[in-house]
C-alpha cells in the first residue's frame, strides 16, 4: 500500500473524530474545521515519519492543541463586537508634539518600533514581548533603550514613557 493511500485511509477513518476534537477545543464548527484542515496539512508533510509510529492520531491531536493555543494567543487581546457602536466616531488629530513623536516612531527600525508598540501601546511586559517576538528579555530591553534614545533625540518634548504594570525592566 502506498503512503498516500495510507494517509487517505487515516483521514477517512479518523477525520470525524478529529473534527469532534476540534469542536471541543474551539467551541464552534467553523474554527474546528480550520483546525482540522491546518493539522492535516502539517500531518501530510510529516506523514512518512509519523506513520512509522504507533499512533498518528495522537500526533494529530497534539498538533491541533498547539495550533489552537497559538491562535488563541494571537487573538486573546482582540475584542469582537457584534453590534456597531452607536453614534459617530472621529479620530482626533495629534497635537504638534504627538505628530513629531509619530513621525519619529515611523523612522525607527522595525524591531525597535515593534518593541515600543508592544510595550507602551499593548502594555505587554518584557517577558511577554520576548515571547511574542521570539527574542530574549535582554534583547527586548536593549531594543527599547535604543529606540527611546532615538525618540528622545528626535522629539524630546513628546517623550515621557511610564513603565507598565509594575514591570521590573
- Per-residue model confidence as pLDDT tens digits over 52-92: 877 888 889 888 888 887 876 666 665 666 776 677 766 55
Report the pLDDT value the prediction gives residue 65, as an integer from 0 to 100. Answer: 84
- CA nearest 42: which of 22, 23, 62, 26? 62
pLDDT at 123: 82
Q: How many C-beta atoms surround the C-beta of residue 3 within 10 A?
A: 11
Domain assignments of the chain as residue spans, ordered by start = 3-75, 96-158
Check residue 16 and give its pLDDT: 93
Q: Does domain 3-75 have CATH number 1.10.1740?
A: yes
Q: How far is the C-alpha of 169 from the C-alpha of 164, rounded, in Å?
A: 10
pLDDT at res. 169: 47
Would you place residue 40 in the very low, low, confident or very high pLDDT band (cuts 50, 70, 90)?
very high
- Pairwise pLDDT comparison (44 vs 110), residue with the higher score: 44
Distance of alpha carbon 33 from alpha carbon 35, whole angstroms: 5
- pLDDT tens sequence across 114-156: 888 888 877 889 998 888 888 899 999 999 999 999 888 887 6
Q: Can you tell me the mean pLDDT for 5-28? A: 88
Q: Is the pLDDT of residue 6 over 50?
A: yes
Q: Which fold has domain 96-158?
A: Arc Repressor Mutant, subunit A (1.10.10)
| 67 contacts: CB under 8 Å, gap ≥ 6 | 35, 38, 39, 42
pLDDT at 89: 60
Any idea which of 16-20, 80-84, 160-164 has the lowest mean pLDDT? 160-164
Q: What is the pLDDT of residue 71?
A: 73
pTM reported for the whole predicted model: 0.44
Amino acid at each position: 500500500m502506498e503512503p498516500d493511500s495510507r494517509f487517505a485511509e487515516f483521514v477517512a477513518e479518523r477525520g470525524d473524530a478529529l473534527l469532534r476534537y476540534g469542536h471541543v477545543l474551539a467551541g464552534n464548527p467553523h474554527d474546528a474545521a480550520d483546525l482540522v484542515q491546518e493539522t492535516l496539512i502539517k500531518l501530510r508533510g510529516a506523514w512518512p515519519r509519523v506513520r512509522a509510529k504507533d499512533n498518528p492520531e495522537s500526533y494529530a491531536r497534539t498538533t491541533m492543541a498547539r495550533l489552537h493555543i497559538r491562535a488563541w494567543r494571537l487573538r486573546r487581546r482582540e475584542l469582537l463586537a457584534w453590534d456597531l457602536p452607536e453614534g459617530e466616531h472621529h479620530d482626533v488629530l495629534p497635537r504638534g508634539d504627538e505628530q513629531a513623536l509619530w513621525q519619529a516612531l515611523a523612522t525607527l527600525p522595525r524591531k525597535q518600533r515593534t518593541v515600543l508598540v508592544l510595550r507602551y501601546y499593548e502594555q505587554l511586559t518584557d517577558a511577554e514581548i520576548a515571547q511574542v517576538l521570539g527574542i530574549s528579555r535582554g534583547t527586548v530591553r536593549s531594543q527599547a533603550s535604543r529606540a527611546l534614545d532615538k525618540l528622545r533625540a528626535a522629539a524630546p518634548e513628546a517623550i515621557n514613557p511610564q513603565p507598565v504594570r509594575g514591570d521590573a525592566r
